[in-house]
Structure 1
Amino acid sequence: QPVLTQPPSLSASLGATARLTCTLSSGFNVGDYHIRWFQQKPGSPPRYLLSFKSDSDKNQGSGVPSRFSGSKDASANAGLLTISGLQPEDEADYYCATYHGSGSSFHYSQCLRVYSSDGGGSGVSVSAGSLSQPVLTQPPSLSASPGATARLTCTLSSGFNVGGYRIRWFQQKPGSPPRYLLNYYSDSDKGQGSGVPSRFSGSKDASANAGLLTISGLQPEDEADYYCVTWDDNSKTLTVVQTHR
């Protein structure tokens, strides 16, 4: 997967337009990649904003206003997220994720700070974005001993068949961006993140209508927040939810 680089922060005033960049490393052509953008506010899981590969191959997240738009700058080998008419609630951390075939990687992009024109506070809202598509439910936490095996569940709501969804799992530790672990659709259609050990594995439980993440030989460094992401290959919709810590 490509290495993505960008300035660590960006400041802009209310009502202005902000452009966030996601630059791919040499040897990787941005034209070949879907660039997905996520927004994260303190205490909330990442919220899917949009995906952009080309003007004819793009997707807007459910409930995401059109003032959030994706594009690319081929000369800079970068994906771009443009936010027009900045609002106080746009202040957040933003992540870009690249997707190419069965590979996927999650990268920190930029921290956007929004300020009022008179220099006062921005009145930032930290309310979480509403989820659409399947509602995913799971226990809020899980405890297990070092060396043991932990199984995390991601249960889809009634009316949504887990068999039709690709389940991706991410791990996030305090102060760090989410790390892509793996994706699982079936035993013959799955992918492991770069550098992720085989003791992290995906599966499904059709009877429970759930995706599963199994972590064997637990290590102290496995303590983290874990997110499951559903991706419907047909409707091109994505849902993110926090699962276990």
Structure 2
Amino acid sequence: MTQSPLSLPVTPGEPASISCKASQSLLHSDGNTYLHWYLQKPVQSPKRLIYRVSNRAPGVPDRFSGSGSGTDFTLKISRVEADDVGVYYCGQGTKKPYTFGQGTKLEIKRNDAQPSVFVFQPSPDELHTGSASVVCLLNGFYPRDINVKWKVDGEIQNTGIQESVTEQDSKDSTYSLSSTLTMSSTEYQSHENYSCEVTHKSLPSTLIKSFQRSQCQSAA
């Protein structure tokens, strides 16, 4: 099952279309075509939108429609709304093993937005446990692609980093990201300068947020 496109940025109010192609006909011997469409949102079970090519599942708005036959199928949204963001999958139940497409990520298109960047040093309580987490929080940016680098005393860090990106905010269609640099408290206290460097399409140059460990500790 091959879907296209894999990424679909859409302005609210505009139509959207996703195609799904099977390697062989999905017409079952019973006369039905078991091609279904699903929407997956974060931390939620997939929701079935369309079953057997063109039948809307209960509660699905009539903005959604399905069509096609044989090997070629299409899901259409007549007017995209902010709540339509997520990953759309086609799936077939005609032939075993049942299979799905790769997924199409629909996002709301909007003007570029610069991130607000904040850096948080480890708390004294965390340092007492022997661990240290430095967090760089980026809020309210668009588009989604963004690059975050950590430097400690001027040296780029390549390990101990974990990133988490939120899905688009339903109100303003921006993204947020947290990047956490984790190390032992001993290592943390052996260095002085910590910086989070952000590059993004909306920024004219690299945005740097930093702190000096000794000053933060003395301020605390």
Give the greater-gyration-radius structure (CA): 2
TM-score, length-scaled by structure 1: 0.41
